Every structure is written in structure tokens, then in C-alpha cells.
Amino acid sequence: METIHRILLLSAAILAAAACHEKPTDPVDPTPAGPEPQTRTLTFVLPAVEAGEDGEIPAALKTAWKAGDQIVVHGEYAKDQVVVTLAAGDISGDGKSATVKVDGLYPYERDDCSSTLYASYPASVADNLKHCFFYSKFSTTNEQLMAACNSGDTFRFQNICGILSMTVEGDFGGYTVSTPKKEALGYEFLQVKVTDNEQNYRQYIGNPVLQLDGTVQGGEILVFVPDGTAFESGFVVKFKEGDDYTRIYKYTEPLEIARGTVVNIGDITDEVQHYDNPFSSDIIDLDAKGNANSYVVTAPGGYKFKAVYGNESTSYLQDVDVAEVLWETWNSTEEVTPNSVVASASFAEDYIILHTPETLHPGNAVIAAKDADGKILWSWHIWVPATEIVTASFGGIMGNDLMDRNLGALVAAEATAAPVDARSYGMVYQWGRKDPFVASGVALANTLATVAGAQDEVAPAQITLEESIANPRLLGHTNNGDWLLVPDNEMWSDTDKTRYDPCPPGYRVPPMNTTVPFWNNISTQAGWSVNKEAGWITIGDPATVLPIAGYRDDYSVDGMAKVGLRTLLWTAKNSTDAAGSGNDLRPDGGTFTLKGAPKARLGSVRCVVE
């Protein structure tokens, strides 16, 4: 009996398993059928454009349909969108509308609007998401973008962008539009909501685009900007001739352009100027070793450096309009020919660009960056030496390697019986300032070197830091104290190269270190000798030569003093609110000591390697 029972159970299990695998005789599809696609005859109407002040509509603006134009029509899903290509027979006589039969339409119905289909033009830049809903998304903004919703079977397009228009004569190809303050002129994508309820218009944007590129077509330029774009500081157009940008146009007034309107600047041909392209292959980057307040130029040509605050490589100046050569000197009393050291200076793309004459003339120059009102925002020293600058340890006299000459010197001083070359004196500095001033232009004499351009000015008293930047020719003046009205003891620093350090890239004002020979009882060190008649001092093994360059004294900063008798070499170390630290070398009195000197005094700087 037990065996028969087991057989019966097994048979029942086999039958049950077979039943599970039987195909139903009446299958039921659990997915309900979707809406059937529609075929409709649609009419697409181009929008009217509000003309600019001159009443002109740019010829390049699309105001009529053409055969081959493509329009995207969609409902809720991108997968269901249809690209409509217009044929000549679809277009009305005036080109303002086109009517065409369209298959495969899936309307999108909502309670908050009666429109059910949506359109985008041009199809080439339509970039709808999976769920389109009532949005039109474009992959760019600098095109004549149009969007529409249906009213029945009619789509009346709206221009999504405002239009900036201008004309220019010349053999130009491409152009680039930007603004001085790097405002957003467009976006990587633009998505808009357009329904039959005007209040529903919305705009959604991607990452900002700071410059727009295009081509000049028939002398006409059209720039399309999204709603709300404001050119608060005007705009700039750079033009290409061949592969290089060579011309520039600047519009300096604020400008706002509403969507669907044209702002026509008119013919700008007479206002297009030469453009100094900082990215040209023949422009040499002086910042290759870092930013600085001074740069050494040793060969004729074009050069550039970032328009930043001194040694701070990412702190860009704002509102720069132009750059110009402020003053030049040959470190002598010869009459200086203007633009003989630096032929020209300009500003573009956050760079200061300078060009030398075809044949270099040794000297020093200062270039200033100015805003549109002529205010100096910052300035830089350009140093063109007559002989190669040598950097060496000179027996380790300063710890770091140092230059063989003072900052701004055109030649290194030589230890001979003849008077030193006045061109070896270099420039002189008030402690903490980046701004160079001329020393003597005559050997062993208190005679200032001559200058072409802006001349020294002596303030009646101390000055502010802001005043010194806005006028790098202005000397703060006080007896036995600081040139600066409010003391700043960190303008130069023993530990870091500061914003105001005047040395070229890779160098700095020497830190004060009393363990090295130069700052520790200098007159007892190897290589020490003095020749008062020739006006030089030597120190080191092998020796470097220090010209006895004098200084511009704190109580008389308008002229040189003690040339051939004394010299002051600054360190980066602050001493007190009134004094900086330096070597005060006085062959006339036989004293050679490291001590504090009034910050208003102008001394020499011997730059050391950072």
C-alpha cells in the first residue's frame, strides 16, 4: 500500500508541473495600447522682428523660410519628435509662412495650457531631453533660435534671443565678441518654455560662454544673446585677417538687448583699430618664469605678460582699458628719445603687450595700465641691459646667488682705476615700493639721469599706498621716516616675495641674514676693497663690484646725494614703522654697517635668486 501511495503522489506532481508550462489559450497583453500617431497639416509662421533705432532689419537675419529649412516638432518625448524639412512648394509667396503635411505626431496634453505640440528652429541645434514636455532645448545660443507652440494647426514662432547687429568693411573672416568684464554673452545650452500662455515663458541656462565666435557675412555681423544679457561695460569685437586677429572694435557704453529685438550699432569701419594679438606666435611670454613687477628684455621683438598685481599670478586687474609707456631713461644725462627703449605698449586679453624698436636701445622704461578714465591701475618696469646679466654666488656673500649688478643697471660696475660707468648705478627705490626712480646719470656726481615721458613728482608730505599706485612717479616725502602715510611693514618680506617686490621673475629683494658675509660685518669679508676715487667697493671671492651710487635722501628726494661717497643697499627686512633694514656703506666716513634707514630714502637693490 505504501508503494502505491508514493506512485500516486509522484504522478500528481508530474501533472501539476506540466500544467504550469502550458501556453494560455487566451493570452492577455497587460500593457494598454498607446495613443495613435497623428497626421496633420501644420503651418509655421516666422516672427516679426522689432527693428533697431535706425529702422533697419539686418539682411542676414532670417525673415523668410527657404527650401531645406528644418524644424523640430514634438510632444512629450524626444523619441517621438519629427524633423520637418520644408520644400519650395510649402512656402508662401512672401516667405513668412510654410504649410506642410506632417506624420507621426504625438500631442502632449496638460490642464494648464491648451497647446499640445511644440516646435524648435533650427533643427541642427535642437537638443531636446528625453522628456521634452513643452520645452525647446538648444545646444548653443549664438544662432537665431526660435520656438513655438501650436494654436490648432498653426505655430507662430518667437525669437528667443536678442540681436546685436553691425556692419564693417574689410577683408575679414572670423570675429570674436567679448566684454571687458568677462560677462556671460551666451550659454552652452539654452532651454525655453513656450506655451499658449505668455506668462509660462521660462528660460534655463547651462554654463556661461564668455566669448562668441562667428563669421562676417557680406560685411554684416549678427550676435544673438539670450534674454536678460546686459553688456554692462560695452563689448569688444576682434577681427581675423587670415588666421590671426589683427583688428579690434570697442563699444564702451552699457547695452541691454531684449529678446526679439535688434540693436543696430551701424557701420563701425572707421572705428576699427589695430589689434596687438597676445597669442600671436611671435609674441614672447615674459611670464614663463612667473609674474613680477619688472621684466628683463635682451632681444628686439614683441613681448607679453599678464596684467596682474605684481607677483600674484591669478590676481587680475579689473577695468583695464589701455596700456602705455609712462617714462623711459638711458641711465645717463643724454636727451632720451621717446619710445626708444619700448616702442609701444597695449592691452588685450588680460595681457600687457610691448614691442621694442628693431634695434634695442639699453635703458629702463615703465609701462602703466589705465582704466577708461585714465587712472593708473598698476605699472611695470621693463629693464633692457646693455650687457648680459650674470648671476653667481660670488663666494656665497648673500647666501643665495645674486645678480652682478644693481636692479636697473645697464652694465656691471668694474673695479678699475677709471671712474665707474654711471650706467651701473641702476634704479633706486623707497623701501617697500615696486616703483623705480632714476639715480645719477653722471659718474661720481649728484646729477639725475634724464627721462622721457612722465617726470618725478615730490609730494609735500607722506602719501597713501593708493596714491603711489595711481602715480608711480610720486615720491612720498618726510624727514627721517616712512614715505607711506599709514605704515605697512610687510610691503617687502624676509620670508616671501611680496606683491610689491620690484625684482624680475625668479629673483627677489634679498632677505636679511646676518650669518652670511654681506650682512655681517661686510668690511672684514673676503674680497673686500674700496676705491673712493673710482667710486666702487668689492666683496666676495670671486668678487662682485658695488658702485658707490649714492641715494636720494629722505629730506631731499628730488635729487641725488652722496654719489661716490656713500651707497645704501636695501634688504627685504623691516626695521621699524619708520625704517627699513639695509647696508649703509659710507667710504667717506669709513663706516660700513647694517642698520635701519628711513623708508622715504631711495636706495639700491641687488636682487637674489628666490
pLDDT tens-digit series, residues 295-315: 999 999 999 999 999 999 999
Confidence at 50, pLDDT banded by 50, 70, 90: confident
Asked, for residue 30, whether it belongs to a domain, the answer is no
Confidence at 21, pLDDT banded by 50, 70, 90: very low
Q: Are residues 206 and 245 in the same domain?
A: yes
Asked, for residue 6, whether it belongs to a domain, the answer is no
Asked, for residue 504, whether it belongs to a domain, the answer is yes
* Pairwise pLDDT comparison (48 vs 50), residue with the higher score: 48
Domain endpoint, select from 384, 410, 445: 384
Rounded average pLDDT over 312-327: 94
Cα separation of 478 and 476, whole Å? Answer: 7
Q: Are residues 147 and 207 in the same domain?
A: yes
Nearest to 583 by CA among 565, 567, 606: 567
In this predicted structure, the answer to whether residue 55 has a pLDDT above a threshold of 70 is no
Confidence at 31, pLDDT banded by 50, 70, 90: very low
Beta-carbon count within 10 A of 71 CB: 25
Asked, for residue 2, whether it belongs to a domain, the answer is no
Number of domains forming the structure of the chain: 3
Mean pLDDT of the chain: 92
Q: Are residues 435 and 487 in the same domain?
A: yes
Cis peptide before 208 (omega within 30 of 0): no
To the question of pTM greater than 0.85 for the whole model, the response is no
Long-range contacts of the stretch 524-527 (C-beta < 8 A, 24+): 525/397, 526/395, 527/394, 527/395, 527/397
Asked, for residue 16, whether it belongs to a domain, the answer is no
Listed in sequence order, the DSSP H helices in 53-117 are: none
Q: Provide the domain limits for residue 496.
A: 391-609
Rounded average pLDDT over 154-165: 94
Domain endpoint, select from 274, 303, 325: 274
- The pLDDT score that the predictor gives to residue 53 is 63
Q: Are residues 397 and 528 in the same domain?
A: yes
Cα separation of 409 and 449, whole Å? Answer: 12
Q: Are residues 251 and 301 in the same domain?
A: no
- The pLDDT score that the predictor gives to residue 28 is 45
Q: Are residues 309 and 361 in the same domain?
A: yes
Q: What CATH number should be reported for the domain holding residue 290?
A: 2.60.40
Confidence at 415, pLDDT banded by 50, 70, 90: very high
Among the residue ranges 13-17, 418-422, 580-584, the one predicted with the least confidence is: 13-17
- The pLDDT score that the predictor gives to residue 16 is 38
Asked, for residue 23, whether it belongs to a domain, the answer is no
Confidence at 15, pLDDT banded by 50, 70, 90: very low
Asked, for residue 322, whether it belongs to a domain, the answer is yes
Cα separation of 297 and 389, whole Å? Answer: 11
Q: Are residues 411 and 364 in the same domain?
A: no
Q: Are residues 242 and 374 in the same domain?
A: no
Q: Are residues 425 and 370 in the same domain?
A: no
Domain endpoint, select from 363, 384, 405: 384
Exposure class string for 252-274: b at 16+ Cβ within 10 A, else e: eeebebebbebbbbeebeeebee
Q: Is 107 exposed, middle or buried (0-12, 13-18, 19+ CB in 10 A)?
A: middle
In this predicted structure, the answer to whether residue 397 has a pLDDT above a threshold of 50 is yes
Confidence at 376, pLDDT banded by 50, 70, 90: very high
Cis peptide before 542 (omega within 30 of 0): yes
In this predicted structure, the answer to whether residue 52 has a pLDDT above a threshold of 80 is no
Strands 38-45 and 154-156: parallel
- The pLDDT score that the predictor gives to residue 180 is 84
pLDDT tens across 530-558, in order?
999 999 999 999 999 999 999 999 999 99
Confidence at 217, pLDDT banded by 50, 70, 90: confident
Q: Are residues 202 and 288 in the same domain?
A: no
Q: Are residues 351 and 434 in the same domain?
A: no
Asked, for residue 262, whether it belongs to a domain, the answer is yes
pLDDT tens across 179-212, in order?
988 899 999 999 999 998 777 788 999 999 999 9
Among the residue ranges 37-46, 55-64, 337-346, 363-372, the one predicted with the least confidence is: 55-64
- The pLDDT score that the predictor gives to residue 27 is 43
In this predicted structure, the answer to whether residue 491 has a pLDDT above a threshold of 80 is yes
Q: Are residues 67 and 201 in the same domain?
A: yes
